[in-house]
Structures are given as structure tokens and as C-alpha cells.
Structure 1
Amino acid sequence: MEFWGQGTPAAGSGAIVNGNSHQEVIKPDGPEPRPDGPRGAPDPETGATSARNTGETAGSYGPGMRLTPHEQERLLIHVAAGVARDRRSRGLRLNHPEATAVIASFLMEGAREGRTVAELMDTGREVLSREDVMDGVPEMLESVQIEATFPDGTKLVTVHRPIP
């Protein structure tokens, strides 16, 4: 944002006062104030906050999803795997991150379903074939390690050479 003259902030206004002798106020560029008040402000008539004011989606009952960084990472893996599966179904070959996401998602879901670590280590090698991925990906992907949540706790699952 650029202003002309030697401006200084006006007290508490966030505006810039131009250094000329007639002291004109130049407002900074930015969004206009919301007609319904600041985010989360209660409705003046009813006192209730609406989804529009709080950032919640319509129909939600709480303040959105509150995920830990670990849960965010898991969700990101599942989303990336979904995108990769869509690309694969359209006949596109997967790159390294996409292949990793598909295998990791498979392992996490298998753990959630109650499969054993040994079972996942074996079946993890059958998720993708060389035909599913771009040239060089099988050689780059030496192993996939994922901390998966099993019914009896969290365990580390390692699949060596996941794309034979």
C-alpha cells in the first residue's frame, strides 16, 4: 500500500494523515466494515450469534473442527490420497507424493479396520503397481512408514519397497 507525502498514523484510526499543510486524511485500502458488525458479534436484536458472524458453516453446532497437528496431518494424507485415486481412475500415472499418500492412507484405514501390522506390511506392497506410477517412482520410494492407530493403540507400520 502506498501513500503520497510524509504520512503518520492518525491516533487510533488506522488512517494516514498526509503531511501537507491542510492535513487531509487518506484511508488505507482494504475491506469495508461489515454491515453486521465484527465477526462473532451478537445480533443486536436477539443477542444470538449466527453462522455468518462466527465463521461456522450453516448447520454446524459448534465452533468448527478443532484438530491437533497430528490429526491435521492424517486428514491431509487422506485428502491427497483421494485426489491421487481420482487421477489414477482417469488413467493418469501417480507421482511420488501421490503414491506415498495412497499407500499411507491404505495403511491407516487397514489399521482402523483392525488388521495386524504384519498383514499391512504384506498387503501394503499390493496397493500400487509399476503401471500405476510415473517412471522412477518405484526406485525413489524405498519405504513408507506411517504411525497408524490400531484398536489396541498406535503402532509404526513400515512397508519396504511398496511398489515391487
Structure 2
Amino acid sequence: MSLRLALLAALLLWPAWIGAQSTALPELPPVENWQPIFVEPAPIPVGTSVGVPPVAVAVPTGLTATLIAPRSVAGRVPLTLKVANAGAAAVQLGAGRDNDQNCAVAPLVRVLRVGTREVVYPLAGEPRLCAQDFRSDTAGKGEAVTYTRELELASGDYMIEGWFAGSGNGASLKLSAQPVRVTVR
């Protein structure tokens, strides 16, 4: 008998062998007049997590975003997003790669064909699986952090909307920039 057949036979006989080895449990008599016990849980204050002390996160103020692109270009469109800090203290900025934005960290963009409402980028239904990289930068008082990327667009006129989406000092943050118009030749 081969090893496979022996294992198959053992597997098929296992429930019968276990049943023969076990002893029957004694029958318990029914309990009369039983009452369920209800325990009232301790109240948890709103806005807190169980076992975690509340942490105050200050949403940064004084941040602005500016999208820069050439007015007319041949070939790929270079984009620059500057996040400037006019606040009184340094701001820690953080952003991850976006699956819908060709794995870019920033600037995140939406491209519309001029004269229509047609969204040229990002295309619906083409998400990618990106590495979970996280970029962290510090914008000191009066300083700016620069993010760059390039887009490949067909010839035509476009309006490009850009923004930074991520965190600022640990708080969720989205900064929109003024749209720019670009002509691709």
C-alpha cells in the first residue's frame, strides 16, 4: 500500500476512531427559574478611544498651494506645486502615493479639456497598485516645499487643477491651488 493510500485511509477513518476514543459527557439536568444577568457597560466619553488617551492635533494654518506650469509646451507637461508656510511655526507635511494618480505623491491633479467638461486625467478605471511610500517634509516659517511631476498629454488646450492631499502636523490636510491653463503642441 502506498503512502498516499495509507494517509487517505487514515483520514477517512479518523472521525470513527475519534468517536470511539472519546467518552460521553454526563447529561446535565435542566435548571429551573434561571434569570439572565445584564451588565451595564461603563460609559465612554464621546471623542475618545478605549485605552488611548486623547491627543490634541493642531491643524496647521497659514499654508497656501501654488501650481506652476508653462503656458505652452511641446511634449511632456512639467508641473510644480509649492506649499508655502506663512504661519508662525514649522509644519510637518506628509503624503503617500496615490493609486489613481499614476503613483504620484504630489501634486495630485485633474486635467480637463478646455471648452468641454471632459476629464482627460486621471482616467476612470485605471488605478495602479503603488508602493506604500510616504514622503515627509518640513516647511519652516516662511519656507516652501516643492513637489514636481510630469504629465503626458495629447495636443490640445487643457485646464489643470492641482492640490496637495496628505497630513500637516498629523492632521488631515488638503490644499487646493489655482488652476492653470496649458496648451500642448
TM-score of the pair, normalised by structure 2 = 0.23
Report which of the two has the higher share of helix: 1
TM-score of the pair, normalised by structure 1 = 0.25
Report which of the two has the higher share of strand: 2
Using CA pairs under 8 Å that are at least 6 residues apart, name the structure with larger relative contact order, 1 or 2: 2
